[in-house]
């Protein structure tokens, strides 16, 4: 697991639990089996690690025997994604793989309908969400994220999206669409789907049976839980900062200089991504803290030092602000 592994906002934990709640599952037991504190449900600022979120998704599938997590009109049986992967892995290029995959899912008439539409410049994957019971739009967002990241994995390079479209209006809650897709997002659109340059369809499939065997052990849950940062500004700044957060981090001017841009331009571009440099540094410290606390081989004081905190009390206050709980409470729950 990467030290700077992504963490998942409170909103997506609640959304993932909507189907299990409707199906009458024991939510506290589900959270415990996933290593997640129930406090997360009541703390808007709380986060969970990518590993915890992956376990939660997998546990929901197992309990419901449904890869749609109780949000479809009928179940999408567990194992369908794996079978689809085996069906497409030997296709010569992405276009053939997508067409075969969508034919596979077409065998399940009550699933979300997937289509590939091709014009002179762009390919568009559309999703018919009319057969979903998805009031939070969690499943439809997840389907688009999975197909974008799965397609990128198949060809061994990130598919650069031109645009992402949703029929529904933009939510008042904070959903990080920009980070999910690194693309323009249009709401109240005439269709739900995503558009990308046609050139990607001719890309050869770079995966094989061996790489697929490793991939499907945790997918598609990992595709939802792990970030797909590509060459985003945030990813480039994270690379400049590096993994060692115990030392003084580069100041804003130094980061701008490393990116060969002015501080004013960098500040504007970060604002466009809904982020400040301080927020990014806090996110890196938060995600690194989750990693070390979950791993369990360092004391809380040592974790604080890894993050550059000279006083454990300062780290405690910062961690509670980031996650809604203390480092000790988080670790105790992970160990239980």
pLDDT tens-digit profile of 202-231? 999 988 888 888 888 777 877 877 655 554
Residue 3 clears pLDDT 80, i.e. is over it: no
pLDDT value of position 42: 83
CATH class of 233-335: mainly alpha
In the chain, % of residues over pLDDT 90: 39
Q: In the predicted model, what is the mean pLDDT of the chain?
A: 85
pLDDT value of position 95: 98
The lowest-confidence range among 26-40, 177-191, 226-240, 259-273 is 226-240
pLDDT tens-digit profile of 252-291? 999 999 888 899 999 988 887 667 899 888 888 887 888 7
Reduced 3-state DSSP string for the chain: CCCCCCEEEHHHHHHHHHHHHHCCCCHHHHHHHCCCCHHHHHCCCCEEEHHHHHHHHHHHHHHHCCCCCCCECCCCCCCHHHHHHHHHCCCCEHHHHHHHHHHHHCCCCCCCEEEEEECCCEEEEEEECCCECCCCCHHHHHHHHHHHHHHHHHHCCCCCCCEEECCCCCCCCCCCHHHHHCCEEECCCCCCEEEEEHHHHHCECCCCHHHHHHHCCCCCHHHHHCCCCCCCHHHHHHHHHCCCCCCCCCCHHHHHHHCCCCHHHHHHHHHHCCCCHHHHHHHHHHHHHHHHHHHCCCCHHHHHHHCCCCCHHHHHHHHHHHHCCCHHHHHHHHHC
Angle at the Cα of 87 from the Cα atoms of 81 and 91, rounded to 5 degrees: 125
For residues 31 and 108, the model is more confident at: 31
Domain-wise residue ranges, the chain: 7-76, 80-214, 233-335
Instruction: Give dist(CA 148, CA 70) in Å, integer.
Output: 22
């Amino acid at each position: 697991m990467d030290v700077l592994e992504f963490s998942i906002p409170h909103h997506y934990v609640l959304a993932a639990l909507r189907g299990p709640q409707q199906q009458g599952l024991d939510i506290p037991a589900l959270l415990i089996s996933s290593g997640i504190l129930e406090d997360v449900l009541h703390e808007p600022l709380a986060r969970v690690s990518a590993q915890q979120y992956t376990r939660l998704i997998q546990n929901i599938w197992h309990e419901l025997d449904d890869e749609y997590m109780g949000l479809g009109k009928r179940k999408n049986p567990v194992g369908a994604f794996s079978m689809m992967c085996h069906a497409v892995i030997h296709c010569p290029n992405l276009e053939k793989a997508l067409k075969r995959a969508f034919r596979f899912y077409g065998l399940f008439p009550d699933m979300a309908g997937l289509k590939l539409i091709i014009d002179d410049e762009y390919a568009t994957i559309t999703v018919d969400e009319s057969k979903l019971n998805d009031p939070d739009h969690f499943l439809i967002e997840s389907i688009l994220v999975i197909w974008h990241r799965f397609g990128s994995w198949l060809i061994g390079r990130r598919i650069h999206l031109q645009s992402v479209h949703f029929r529904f209006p933009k939510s008042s809650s904070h959903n990080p669409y920009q980070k999910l897709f690194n693309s323009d997002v249009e709401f109240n659109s005439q269709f739900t789907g995503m558009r990308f340059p046609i050139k990607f369809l001719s890309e050869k499939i770079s995966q094989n049976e061996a790489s697929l065997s490793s991939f499907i052990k945790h997918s598609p849950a990992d595709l939802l839980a792990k970030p797909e940062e590509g060459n985003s500004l945030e990813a480039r700044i994270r690379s400049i900062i590096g993994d060692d957060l115990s030392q003084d981090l580069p100041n804003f001017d130094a980061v701008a200089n490393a990116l060969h841009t002015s501080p004013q331009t960098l500040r504007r571009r970060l604002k466009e991504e809904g982020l400040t440099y301080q927020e990014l540094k806090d996110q890196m410290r938060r995600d690194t803290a989750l990693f070390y606390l979950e791993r369990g081989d360092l004391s809380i004081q040592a974790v604080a030092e890894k993050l550059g905190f000279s006083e454990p009390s300062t780290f405690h206050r910062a961690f509670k602000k980031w996650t809604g709980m203390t480092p000790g409470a988080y670790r105790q729950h992970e160990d239980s």
